[in-house]
Amino acid sequence: MCGIVGQYCYDGTQPDANFLTAMIDRIAHRGPDGRGMFLKGRIGLAHCRLAIIDLSDDASQPIANEDGTIWLVYNGEIYNYIELRQELVKKGHKFLSKTDSEVIVHAYEEWGARCLERFNGMWAFALWDDKKQQLFCARDRFGIKPFYYTEIAGSFIFASEIKALLEHPDVGKNPDNEMLCSYLTWGVHDHTDRTMFSNIFQLRPAHAMMVTVKGQNTPVRYWDVKVNPFFTSDIQNSDISSNLFTLLKDAVRIHLRSDVAIGTCLSGGIDSSTIVALINDLIQKDSPESIGTRQKTFSAVFDDTRFDESQYINEVVNGTSVDAYRTQPDPQQVLKDLHQLLYIQDEPFGSLSIYAQYRVMQLASKRVKVVLDGQGADELLAGYLAYQSCSIRGLIRSFHLLTALREIIGAFRYHRAFFFDSLQQLLIRAKRRHLLQVLCPNFNRYNGTLDQVLYRELMITNLPALLHYEDRNSMAFSIESRVPYLDVRLVEYLTSLPQDQKIKNGVTKYALRRAIRGVIPESIRCRMDKMGFVTPEEIWMAEDLQPFVLTILTSENFKKRPYWDASAVTKSYQEFLDGKSQYSPELFRIVCAELWLEIFFDKKNTNPINVES
């Protein structure tokens, strides 16, 4: 896990070593264990290393093949690198290190761009082919690892984080108003190749591209997945449970490959509790050195029981005898960290829920160098309660009326309060969108049938943003975060399952719940609420953060912005404080956008990253 930057001067000039150094300095938190740079002719590559696999100097980057005709800078982990290495050795390739980065080099030599089809893992890399004078850039199937780029003055420039690209004086000088408006109006970002900075782009998940002496080619998709549109199949539930459990356990097993200590994020929900339980079993049977004799877990807890999952965390801890560590975020710490959190993320974020994850990563960094997390399971197995309406809509449209009726009954049996709250939120959110003075096309995440929505959430609207948060929060503390639910074998299996294996009689994640019977406590396996790493944002915005928010809303900069009606925003926030209207995330998003504009465009609080661990 590392930070990568580079400059390809396709106009024939030479890359600027000082510029490359400045870029890598800006993202040094991603790789505190070493530095490297390669300069030759038109190409310059730089790397900062977080040593995870093969801790020797042999694994330093940029890394090359035997004759120095291929050079790589890479951020990520290829979990099946051991198996690929064995295959490549049989084909005659010689290795000088034990790292997965050298596997990428030789895989490209052997299979060219199609090497991506063989990788199981997370990656963002740039590979220089000196013979062809071309730069091959690729990002993993789900965008777990970031890759940003821009073209300017005859150069293609890339980096792991946007802030590195901003070292160029002519890059990212203005916000991309359309992307900012999509965020403010609908709460979406990371859903296109555009960012909230003008002329800074990201390589989309499952895409690769070539940059040649003629400039950047159009990115191409190298992988896709189809979500099963059918409601049922003839496959036995017992077979599905067995297959799912086997795939998930092996995904966790290979995600434990590491030469440094690994821990686990534990929220108390089904997904993370399952990972903890599987690792605990692997300790007894496989004795992975990266875990040791006792697994370490890291959790966020709160005094307010409405947001606290200590009850479930304790059940997992007591049942597995892990070493459990907890952090308790509070609003005063939010005030202290909010500017830093925004700087880390590069772009405004949807809610303060990511602050709990930030604090968990901070806690974990004191004891381990890698963590496993449960990201991706909700999008694969319809874990969010809003997906229930998509399922019912699809059943009705396809005239599965009796099944639809059963799902309606089940949904109201388990989630009645959620649906009533959601209806109220729809009304208040629609009202608050009128606070904005920008026009933005309608963007309904939940429009369509369940298979259509799950595909969109997995590849476009939801998961890419969550992975963005996770990457920045973990790397801010030089922590590598791994997500075994996004093992490609498991993803392709889960997306192939019919819809009644995802939602059945109002029960979400139906197949997973069956597969893990006896693995985690029944109180967790059968719980029907949905939390994750949440924060009491509404309470904080009403109480401790109130003076801070009012200061922002009444500032001269805020009043001059073209994106919102400042007086109407202040009035709406005051109505919320007075109990005359409900809270909704639009209020935080407006505040967050203002802080982001101040940090990156008004040039306030733009010091290099410096977090306390």
Question: What token pair was written down for 558?
Answer: 């805020």
User: What does the H/E/C string look like for 275-306?
Assistant: HHHHHHHHHHHCCCCCCCCCCEEEEECCCCCC
In angstroms, the CA 200 to CA 208 distance is 17
Q: Output the CA angle 404-409-415, nearest 5 degrees.
A: 115
Report the 10 Å Cβ neighbour count for 535. Answer: 23
How confident is the model over 36-71, as pLDDT tens digits? 999 999 999 999 999 999 999 999 999 999 999 999
Higher pLDDT pick, 135 / 606: 135
Give the side-chain half-sphere CA count within 13 A for 16. Answer: 12
Q: Which residues pair with 466 in a beta bridge?
A: none
**pLDDT value of residue 358:** 98
In angstroms, the CA 218 to CA 256 distance is 36
How confident is the model over 440-450, as pLDDT tens digits? 888 889 999 99
Question: What token pair was written down for 236?
Answer: 């036995």
Residues 6+ positions from 444 with CB-CB distance below 8 Å: none
Is the confidence at residue 214, as pLDDT, over 60? yes
CA 460 to chain centre: 12
Considering the chain, what percentage of its residues have pLDDT values greater than 90?
A: 90
To the query of whether residue 9 is one of the catalytic residues in this protein, the response is no
Q: Which residues pair with 371 in a beta bridge?
A: 263, 481
Catalytic one of 2, 181, 265, 440? 2
Say if residues 248 and 272 touch (Cβ distance below 8 Å). Answer: no
Is the confidence at residue 157, as pLDDT, over 70? yes
Residue tagged 């874990």 (tokens):
383
Closest CA to 454 of 504, 417, 410, 491: 491
Q: Which amino acid is at 100?
A: D
Q: Which residues pair with 38 in a beta bridge?
A: 45
Closest CA to 381 of 216, 269, 259, 253: 269
Say if residues 276 and 325 touch (Cβ distance below 8 Å). Answer: no
Q: Give me the phi and psi of 23, to 5 degrees please.
A: -65, -45
**pLDDT value of residue 194:** 98
In angstroms, the CA 224 to CA 67 distance is 35
The long-range contacts involving 393-399, CB below 8 angstroms and separated by at least 24 positions, are 393/449, 394/231, 394/448, 394/449, 394/450, 394/451, 394/499, 395/231, 397/449, 398/231
Give the alpha-carbon dihedral of 543, 544, 546, 549, to 10 degrees.
Answer: -140
Give the lowest-confidence range in 84-88, 264-268, 424-428.
424-428
**pLDDT value of residue 43:** 98
Closest CA to 555 of 540, 567, 546, 542: 567
How confident is the model over 463-499, as pLDDT tens digits? 999 999 999 999 999 999 999 999 999 999 999 999 9
Q: Helices 546-553 and 566-577 sit at what angle, rounded to 10 degrees?
A: 160
Residues 6+ positions from 406 with CB-CB distance below 8 Å: 505
Q: Give me the phi and psi of 598, to 5 degrees please.
A: -65, -45
In angstroms, the CA 214 to CA 196 distance is 27
How confident is the model over 501-532, as pLDDT tens digits? 999 999 999 999 999 999 999 999 999 887 65
**pLDDT value of residue 529:** 82
Helices (H), 375-534: 377-381, 387-397, 401-433, 450-456, 463-475, 488-496, 510-515, 522-525
CA 285 to chain centre: 31
- Residue 396 pLDDT level (bands cut at 50, 70, 90): very high
CA 360 to chain centre: 15
Report the 10 Å Cβ neighbour count for 554. Answer: 12
**pLDDT value of residue 19:** 98
**34 burial type by CB count under 10 A (0-12 exposed, 13-18 middle, 19+ buried):** middle
Is the confidence at residue 608, as pLDDT, over 60? no
Query: For all residues of the chain together, what is the average pLDDT?
Result: 95
In angstroms, the CA 25 to CA 56 distance is 22
**pLDDT value of residue 613:** 42
CA distances from 336 to 147, 354, 537, 609 (A): 29, 15, 15, 14
Considering the chain, what percentage of its residues have pLDDT values greater than 70?
A: 98
How confident is the model over 551-585, as pLDDT tens digits? 999 999 999 999 999 999 999 999 999 999 999 99
Is the confidence at residue 1, as pLDDT, over 90? no
Which DSSP category does 30 fall into? G
**pLDDT value of residue 532:** 59
**605 burial type by CB count under 10 A (0-12 exposed, 13-18 middle, 19+ buried):** middle
CA distances from 483 to 248, 432, 434 (A): 11, 35, 38
**Complete DSSP assignment for 571-593:** HHHHHHHTTSS---HHHHHHHHH
What residue ranges in 105-214 does DSSP mark as E strands? 121-129, 134-139, 148-152, 155-159, 201-202, 207-212
CA distances from 349 to 142, 209, 341, 472, 545 (A): 19, 28, 10, 12, 17
**pLDDT value of residue 610:** 55
Closest CA to 109 of 56, 67, 145: 67
Q: Going from the N-terminus, what domains does the chain have, and what CATH number goes with each? A: 2-221 (3.60.20.10), 237-384+431-525 (3.40.50.620)
Say if residues 585 and 337 touch (Cβ distance below 8 Å). Answer: no
